[in-house]
Chain A
Amino acid sequence: MTTRANAQADESAWPLLPEERRWGAARLTLTLATTAAATWCYLIGESVGSYLGFIKGGLALGAGCMIGMVLVLLAAGPTCVRFGIDSVAATKPQFGSRGWVVPAALQAVSIIGWNSLLIIFFAKSAVQLSVALGILDVGPRHAALVPALTVLACTIIFAVLRRGATGVSMVSNILVAHVFIGLWMLYLLVSRRWPELMAAQPANASSDHLWNYTTGIELGIGATLSWWPYIGAMIRMAPNGRTIVLPVMLGMAAPVPILSLIGLAGSLVLKSSDPTEWLRIVGGPAYAIVSLTFVTAANFGTTTAGIYASAVGLRNFAALQERTWTTLLLITIAPVALVGIFIPELFFAKFGNFLALIGVAFAPLCGIQIVDYFVLRRGRIDIRAIYVDSPDQPYYFWHGINPAAMIALAAGCYTYITFLNPLSYRSIAPYPYLTASLPSAAAAALTYFLASLLVNRAGRGGYPRP
């Protein structure tokens, strides 16, 4: 393998060789923590604060995040870390050598959605920071600066990601400090407003306490399931499974609920999840500046990782394999920039629904991958078949598509919507006992298992014989 090939490896969707996978636990933890900690934490916290108080909400959200993360780790982790491939490539044994475009589309929609939201926050925070520092005057015309700053942020991200995964790691090393600033902000609010925090009542709590509690858990599971598109591109840089478990569980799953407590506390006590607003109330303008710096840094780091993961995912398309990394980055960043420029407010308004829709898609996907890897294939993956789209390869199924995975995905999504309508939040009787994501994953896994027995009987899929 030439040096040139090694340098380009992390810019492709090709499997990484052991000598190219040099990220240790510390580097992976830093990168994952920087990726996980962003403005969405406030929004998640605010959503939980609508139904639960501080202690109950924090614990329900924390438990949900850890449960969701272990599902993602079990689904994408084994294949990604064994072969050094990304999340999308790891779905080919289940969805087929052409059917993988379905999870690829889910990944693209998810990352573009999240990153658009974060980049808008980034731009708004930068404007507010400039006003707070006296660089800009106070005035309504600053709304026009948001699109300009969106473009600027996208340009910086583009420049950073020209270096591939090294760029992501470099940004993480610098920006990880914001996680500690976030913890300090949490300490500030909790220490100064503890009595009010304990007395605060959630605004939209149902009369059914179990329903409220389960919704807190469900929001945590849904939030971490949204890491499925990101995780493969990061953990494939690590050499083995042992290296990834603690970084993923502690670096990626833990910061989300901890930093979400900022939004949870703010929404309960001060009726605002935006720390910029309440830090000014609690500590004056100097604290607001610190908070704005935090928000700006946090969103920039996460968006950088998201764009990188999305670009690697797009590499799986044959038409994009030969394109330059620069072209691929431009294709990935353009939709984010366009959303940030033209429809920023729509994304803000629809965040709750968006979060729920994420759970609808990714819970069944995780269920399918887990049963495929651990039960049906018992860990036997054909790496060549992942990259060869040909009828003589096991993952070709029928015309490159595995109907079992498609049916199972539909069954999982239907189960989720039946248990909890993500738009109206209407639920059925078992929801408070089971959540919606877990039955959705289980229904998809069971459907996939049963349908795969027929696929196996037809001699497709390359499943090992008992």
Chain B
Amino acid sequence: MTDPEQSDPAPRAPALPPQLEERIAAIEIAGRTSDFDTSSWFWMIVLGVVIPLMMLAVGWWA
């Protein structure tokens, strides 16, 4: 007969260092923070899509 504790070890989350635990708790309490706002998307589209496409068009016909 096998020892139930040996055959089915309960998964346990490893303890985090106290300072990391504090940081994560602080971030979780603060709630979801935003990533990119409208202005960020605007600049990403302009600088990462529109201007490169214009450059490619100009370069091809140059």
Contact = CB atoms under 8 A, between A and B. Distances in A.
Interface of A: 1, 5, 14-15, 17-18, 55-56, 58-60, 62-64, 66-67, 69-70, 73-74, 77-79, 81-83, 213, 217, 240-242, 244-246, 249-250, 253, 321, 379-380, 383-384, 387-393
B4 interface: no
A383 B56 contact: no
A14 B27 CA distance: 11
A69 B48 contact: yes
B51 to A, nearest CB: 6
Contacts of B12: 390
B55 A55 contact: no
Contact of B48 (A17, A60, A73, A83): A73
B36 A246 contact: no
Contacts of B11: 390-392
A14 B28 contact: no
Given A14-B23, A213-B60, A59 B49 contact: no
A212 to B, nearest CB: 11
Contact of B59 (A56, A240, A250): A56
Given A55-B59, A63-B55, A384 B24 contact: yes
A128 B48 CA distance: 39
B49 A70 contact: yes
A151 to B, nearest CB: 34
Contact of B52 (A58, A66, A240, A390): A66
A321 B30 CA distance: 25
A388 B16 contact: yes
A175 to B, nearest CB: 25
Given A66-B51, A70-B44, A70-B49, A15 B14 contact: no
A242 B35 CA distance: 8
Interface string B6-32: 000001111011011011101110101
Contacts of B56: 59-60, 63, 217
Nearest to A221: B52
Given A73-B48, A74-B44, A249-B47, A388 B36 contact: no
Given A17-B26, A66-B52, 9 more contacts: A1-B22, A18-B30, A60-B56, A66-B55, A77-B36, A83-B33, A241-B35, A244-B40, A388-B14
Nearest to B11: A391
13 contacts: A14-B19, A15-B24, A66-B48, A66-B55, A79-B35, A81-B35, A213-B59, A213-B60, A241-B34, A242-B39, A245-B43, A249-B48, A388-B14
Contact of B43 (A18, A249, A388): A249
B62 interface: yes
B40 A245 contact: yes
A133 B51 CA distance: 43
A446 B53 CA distance: 24
B53 to A, nearest CB: 7
B1 interface: no
B3 interface: no
Contact of B33 (A14, A69, A82): A82
A14 B60 CA distance: 46
B5 interface: no
A392 B13 contact: yes
B37 A241 contact: yes
